[in-house]
Structure 1
């Protein structure tokens, strides 16, 4: 089963950039459909090439984002599946090749999630806790490979359970010769030795409750995801350690009488905790390193890191045009990590901003998202295909 919320057939045809393109280059064609209906097996592509600035201090970069949305079963009983490939590179020796997938099999009987990445950094870090000064900024250079895969079975409508495998491999972790070593900066022992490799290999237990039918642009509904991870030396982990990740989201339709136009309040919070002392430094909870790297708009990635992290965000989403081509969002978020000495959440860091939405593909409901976020002493622009959450 899928969410009962469906866009109605209404008097104002919905429009996207594909329609705009056709109207410009085929103005006399009478056979071009203005409304495309979803079909099983058909793939709906969205593509965004751009030059911008990495949101985490990485400098100027070139990025392309390609999202493929498709239905692996009848669209009335099967959620929209998606595969996203977002390669990027800059001219300072940094690049990434992330490939993410969310596959819903026919009638949502099975859900397969994947996240594979090859990344070459440098990236900045500030140490542990929520009160580290800007002067602590230190560049860390390393290579990173991630391989996450999970398979979940539907237990009852909207509720899934399953297992997975998570692998994080951080290689050749170094800091500049004139900067303190990572262990000196953070006062943390594990995964901070100069030139060290850190290999984490673990099995996961996954519980999922999801009433959305489109993760690219969620309609009103609920989402809850619990991931318990156990890393063991028996499957190659450098050190045994455990973690828990709880992600909660709720989407509220503010104008149910007019479902044609977006008018939604989206709420998101997640709690991420390392349950052992042996977690490598670069695997500790850190802002911007959530499951999809979408948290902390207006905050520099890695700015706050600790053994536990709590994040919350609210976003208002609204259509500008009745045909759905343009929209806007307003958002505010808050980040806190526990202090290394007291283990308490002491410092709370707010951020906020707004953004423009341009409908790229109305069949998969994929938007081009252009967001400006800011916090104390920092601001950035983010470009994405699909919503932040």
Structure 2
């Protein structure tokens, strides 16, 4: 099973539309240091074929740069040779003096993606599940349409680094079809269909709609490429039927990141630590809304594995990365070495968290194209278990 492989970048450039922080007079309601990176790209993978389009990124300040953190937006505008469309926009926006944070994740996918069943022990190739007689286990291709709208607003508590807020989230999966590349055994059910039917969901369309309660500690110096301190986010999702969900449910997400500076003279020389958990608290979720590898907000969990490679009712993930400069007196080029591991539980297959852990490791290369905003092009190659591996190219650091 191959994961996404980026073949090339045609063009990378940055447009800086404001002067340096120390050479301007602060003017209220003005946007400062706007930087835009269009990043046209060509990519290919087995699920989508060839992909053509853009992966734009923007960063800017919504207020005085001395007292306001940098806002950022990352998007994808892609079309594939299999007539698929992938549109997304994800942002963290800090209003003037960090009074408010806006966190958004908007997507429209006409796409396909393999799924492998639930839990951490799923194989690469499709076979009958030894824990579920008559059900496929291993790679099963899925075509689907996804409409996602997530938006949260958090207000700062006094002059502290803590924020509280609420949000709304909507996921609509439609036109879902399952198949495998080999001849399908008519006596075996697809993992997606078996799970949904057992939980009372449709197999071709479902909706998850609800509200979120959010608490954030934002203590990073620059969110897109931190050099020090930490970040924490706790989110409780409530999905009632009266807001449109097919069934009522609730989930808990916890995200913590810590950055240890290794050199006072070279702030770019750091150790980054990331812990992430996503748990089903009550009720049932549709199959594609279950916690899954690579389906975090920016799609950065699980370098070494394809998006959706592992899925379950609960997920725990950890990563450590050593980041270092590659030049003695400049910050343009940098490198990374990383290790990660994830574990998924599934009541359907009687698998608990940490019964099986899937590790990954790899190396990366960084090019900082805007030193003022720390806008960085990152390229990583990760290696996982059982032949899983992949090349990943993104804008800004992985976490």
- Normalising by the smaller structure, the TM-score range is 0.7 to 0.9
SS in 2 for 1:342: coil
**Structure 1 length-normalised TM:** 0.86
Q: Distance in 2 between matches of 1:117 and 1:75?
A: 30
Q: How many residue pairs get matched?
A: 357
TM-fit CA distance, 1:318: 0.5
Among 297, 300, 317, which residue is 1:311 paired with? 317
SS in 2 for 1:121: strand
1:231 and 2:231 equivalent?
no
- Superposition map of 1:1-389 within 5 A: 36-37=20-21, 41-42=31-32, 43-54=34-45, 57-135=47-125, 136-156=138-158, 157-176=160-179, 179=184, 181-183=189-191, 187-188=195-196, 189-190=198-199, 193-194=202-203, 196-256=204-264, 258-259=265-266, 261-321=267-327, 322-340=329-347, 341-345=349-353, 346-376=355-385, 377-389=387-399
Q: Which moved more, 1:339-348 or 1:281-290?
A: 339-348
TM-fit CA distance, 1:191: 7.3
SS in 2 for 1:388: coil
Answer yes or no: is the 8 Å Cα contact 2:369–2:377 preserved in 1: yes
TM-fit CA distance, 1:339: 3.5
Aligned residue in 1 for 2:5: none
Answer yes or no: is the 8 Å Cα contact 1:243–1:272 preserved in 2: yes
Answer yes or no: is the 8 Å Cα contact 1:183–1:193 preserved in 2: no
Answer yes or no: is the 8 Å Cα contact 2:13–2:37 preserved in 1: no
Per-residue Cα deviation, 1:342-367 (whole angstroms, up to 9, x for no partner): 35121001011111101111121011
TM-fit CA distance, 1:132: 1.4
CA RMSD, 1 decimal:
2.4
Per-residue Cα deviation, 1:118-150 (whole angstroms, up to 9, x for no partner): 011111001111111212210011100000010
Unaligned runs of 5+ in 1: 1-16, 22-32
Q: Distance in 1 between matches of 2:280 and 2:369?
A: 39
Q: Distance in 2 between matches of 1:215 and 1:95?
A: 29
Q: Which moved more, 1:304-313 or 1:125-134?
A: 125-134
Distance 1:82 1:232, change over 3 A: same
Q: Greater relative contact order: 1 or 2 (C-alpha under 8 angstroms, separation 6 or more)?
A: 1
Q: Distance in 2 between matches of 1:309 and 1:18?
A: 37
Answer yes or no: is the 8 Å Cα contact 1:191–1:282 preserved in 2: no
TM-fit CA distance, 1:41: 1.1
SS in 2 for 1:234: helix
